[in-house]
Amino acid sequence: MQKLSYYPVSDTKRWYNMLKPRNIRSWLQLKQKFINNFINNRTTIADEAQLYNIQQKKGELVNNHFKRFNKVINKIKNVTDDKALDVLTTELLIQTPFWRDVQKREPKTHTQLVDLS
């Protein structure tokens, strides 16, 4: 089963490759640089409600839907895990095998939902 990474691989890899060699001395330092780059530098879009426009399309793979969702959510500041979980579960195509799995397992966090994919 393929797992979805929260951040697009190309952006993360590009950022990582731009780091100066031997400039990071600990995991904590790497974590802080990562957060500063990907979390704190988000540009805010008009409204959190725009997340509800990201509905899974008929025939669209769940992972592709999550990728589209992640592109938008990364531009919004202060979206809680509960909100992300609520939006993702609301915008899934109903009566699909994945939707049924979500209904059965009832993930409690956004991460748990992504792990089901």
Dump pLDDT digits (tens) for 80-92: 888 888 998 999 9
Dump pLDDT digits (tens) for 28-51: 888 887 877 676 555 556 578 888
Q: How far apart are CA 69 and CA 76, in angstroms?
A: 11
Q: How many CB atoms lie within 10 A of CB 85?
A: 19
Residue 74 region by backbone torsions, left for phi larger than 0, else alpha for psi between -120 and 50, else beta: alpha
Note the pTM of the prediction, 2 decimals. 0.60
What is the chain's percent helix, strand, coil content, to nearest 5? 55, 0, 45
Q: How far apart are CA 84 and CA 86, in angstroms?
A: 5
